[in-house]
Amino acid sequence: MASKDADPSLGYLTRKDTEVKLPRPTRVKNKTPAPIQITAEQILREARERQEAEIRPPKQKITDPTELADYRLRKRKEFEDLIRRVRWNQSVWIKYAQWEESQKDFNRARSVWERALEVDYRNHTLWLKYAEVEMKNKFINHARNVWDRAVTLLPRVDQLWYKYIHMEEMLGNVAGARQIFERWMSWMPDQQGWLSYIKFELRYNEVERARAIYERFVQCHPKVGAWIRYAKFEMKNGEIVRARNVYERAVEKLADEEDAEQLFVAFAEFEERCKETERARCIYKFALDHIPKGSAEDLYRKFVAFEKQYGDKEGIEDAIVGKRRFQYEDEVRKNPLNYDAWFDYIRLEESVGNKGRIREVYERAIANVPPAEEKRYWQRYIYLWINYALYEELDAGDMERTRDVYRECLKLIPHEKFSFAKIWLLAAQFEIRQLNLNGARQILGNAIGKAPKDKIFKKYIEIELQLGNIDRCRKLYEKYLEWAPENCYAWSKYAELERSLAETERARAIFELAITQPALDMPELLWKAYIDFEISEGEYERTRGLYERLLDRTKHLKVWISYANFEASAMEENDESLDLPQDGVQEYNHEAKKECVQRARRIFERAVNYYRTSAPELKEERAMLLEEWLKTESSFGELGDISVVQSKLPKKLKKRKQITSEDGGVTGYEEYFDYVFPEENQATNLKILEAAYKWKKQKITSDDD
């Protein structure tokens, strides 16, 4: 009788019976590491050694026919039960049939294969394995029957045809294999099927049969590749007339196809191999006339190679360049301002190498001047002139014409509205290459007079500096600064030139003149260059004066830090510039270092006072300044006093503020960092005490009342 707690879903067992009983976790009392450590490799080795032998089913030995019959009955029952469950699983059917084959019961095996095919006859794998079993056991007629049914039911599976034909060919039944091929060809297979049939016939030297198959092949697949294969077949057999006939028929049918270029190239190469150069030339010309220009690149290349080998220059020019020239002429006639078309046209003519034609195209191209005097319309056009000049100089070698090109180009450009520094510099560099320095100077002088630009000034100064003409460089710098007095680069370079010549006073005068300019594009670089100049000259008092003048103009954080760092580094400079006897040097050094420390500290104090009184809103800059001061004091070593700075360091607080939209609504909150300095803390504490005192006084008054 079943228990009350028994559960039918658990086979009438109780819940307690089905619980998984886990071992109780052992308590580790001693957690100290063992004196001998066990490696992972040792654990794995021990596990391997202690592993029990794999449990395998016992081998069954069949000793009499009764046991064999029982074994076969049992296995068949297993397979039949499995088939009933998974009828559509082809691997079960295959295993069943192969087992029957292993028992040498071929009739039963065939029965299994036939039943499997009834389930899914479209599965060509079943047909392949069925036929392979029949062939393996040398049941040729049975295999032939299987293949015949397979190709009848599945004529589009090429593998079945290949296997069937291979079997017949291996058996030496050539006529039967040919008959199968004919059955297959009636289904019009792909190109590979036809080529396999042709190879089959050629293996048995049946050239006429192969030719007939090729005729049917090109009718079934009228493509360029098929016709070319047919023609190559005839060529291989030495039938030149037949091969030419094939190519001609192909051209008649496929001249307007997309891949006709491949056909014409193959036809021309065939005639070339036959030493018929005139025929090949006619084919190339015919192809160039009929194929669209955009899809004939390979044809053009092949024709050029052909003409280079067999023809002359006129042939190349007439056949190739003539067509492309006509195309470009059409383009530039439609739009004369399409400068890209002119560039392509010129490149074509340069590839031919006819100087007269090249110059003619260049002259026609540069005659198309942009209609509007705006630089953006001229930017592409000007390269026609540049290429023309470079061609005349480098390829044609005509220096006078090159000079004329540059001269005419510079006349044409409206320098009052815009100019091109590139043209001026190219013209000047050309004259330098011709060793005509006066001509180069004249061109650059005209450039400065008509259309001054930074590039022109820099290049002209560089040329004169390389030639060692310092007076000319000075005049050029003066002109440069008259034209652009706000250019800090020019001022710095001018002063650098004078300094390189050991003209310290002139360099200083240039810097003084530069910093007095009302407008400068990058004044910070100019002041830095001036200060670095004075430091390099060892003029520390002048440097301090410069810093003070700079602080009159701006109280930027970087200026204060740079000033203080200068005073701190002056200590090292003084240390290096000492030239005293050994006695008293250390004492002098100590005093000098103390003075430098005091100077740097005074600068930092001035900066902190400025930010505290005049710019209290710049809290972050003030905090950065104090951090820099702290680093500097630390670098002073025993002379430094970091406690002076630490008492002034602020507290960094993270705060939130409202983000308001345009209509005044609150859209969210944004976090930011605020700095609270010690004096602000004290003021806050005093306000709290004052408020408490006031509240106490009011309370006493109310009690008295």
Count of Cβ atoms closer than 10 Å to residue 25 Cβ: 6
Per residue in 482-510, pLDDT tens?
Answer: 777 777 777 777 777 777 777 778 877 87
Backbone angles phi, psi at 666, to 5 degrees: -90, 120
pLDDT in the model for residue 578: 46
Percent of the chain exceeding pLDDT 70 equals 84
Residue 538 has pLDDT above 70, yes or no: yes
Closest alpha carbon to 108 in 94, 121, 97: 97
The reported pLDDT for the residue numbered 690 is: 63
Which pLDDT does position 577 carry in this prediction? Answer: 46
For residue 626, pLDDT beyond 50 = yes
Of the given ranges (11-25, 139-153, 318-332, 380-394), which has the lowest mean pLDDT?
11-25
Whether the predicted pLDDT of 574 surpasses 50: no
Residue 248 has pLDDT above 80, yes or no: yes
- How much is the average pLDDT of 503-518? 77
The pLDDT tens digits of the residues spanning 297-341 come to 677 777 777 777 776 666 666 656 666 776 777 788 888 888 888
Grade residue 693 by pLDDT with cuts at 50, 70 and 90. Answer: low
The predicted pLDDT at position 18 comes to: 63
Is a pLDDT exceeding 80 seen at residue 353? no
Segment 637-684, tens digit of pLDDT? 766 667 766 667 777 777 777 777 777 666 777 776 767 767 665 555
Instruction: Report the alpha-carbon distance of residue 419 to residue 412 in Å, rounded.
Output: 10
What is the SS3 assignment for 667? strand
Question: Which one-letter DSSP state was computed for residue 652?
Answer: E
Separation between Cα atoms, residue 543 and residue 552, nearest integer Å: 14
Cβ neighbours of 508 (radius 10 Å): 19
pLDDT value at 53 more than 80: no
Query: How far, in Å, CA of 323 to CA of 293, rounded?
Result: 9
* Cα-based distances in Å from 555 to 212, 534, 562: 100, 21, 12
| Domain coordinates in residue numbering, the chain | 509-571+585-651, 653-701
Q: Residue 479: how many CB atoms within 10 A of its CB? A: 17
Contact yes or no for 573/564 (Cβ under 8 A): no
Residue 62's contacts (CB-CB under 8 Å, 6 or more residues apart) are 68, 71
Q: Give the gyration radius of the chain's Cα atoms.
A: 50
Average pLDDT for 207-220: 89
Indicate if the alpha-carbon torsion angle 570, 575, 576, 581 is positive or negative: positive
Predicted confidence at residue 630, as pLDDT, reads: 75
* Burial degree of 292 (CB within 10 A; 0-12, 13-18, 19+): exposed
| Higher local confidence (pLDDT), 4 or 117 | 117
Region 435-441 average pLDDT: 84
What mean pLDDT value characterizes the chain?
A: 79
Q: How confident is the model at residue 582 (pLDDT cuts 50, 70, 90)?
A: low
Query: pLDDT tens for residues 373-426?
Result: 888 888 888 888 888 888 888 888 888 888 888 888 888 888 888 888 888 888
What is the three-class DSSP state of 651?
strand
pLDDT at res. 247: 86
User: 440 CB contacts (<8 Å, ≥6 apart)?
Assistant: 428, 429, 431, 432, 463
| pLDDT (0 to 100) of residue 573 | 46
**H or E segment and range at residue 590:** helix 585-613
- Helix, strand, coil % over all residues of the chain, rounded to 5: 70, 5, 25
Does residue 512 carry a pLDDT above 60?
A: yes
Q: Which long-range contacts (CB under 8 A, 24 or more apart) does 460-467 make?
A: 460/428, 461/493, 463/428, 463/432, 465/497, 467/437
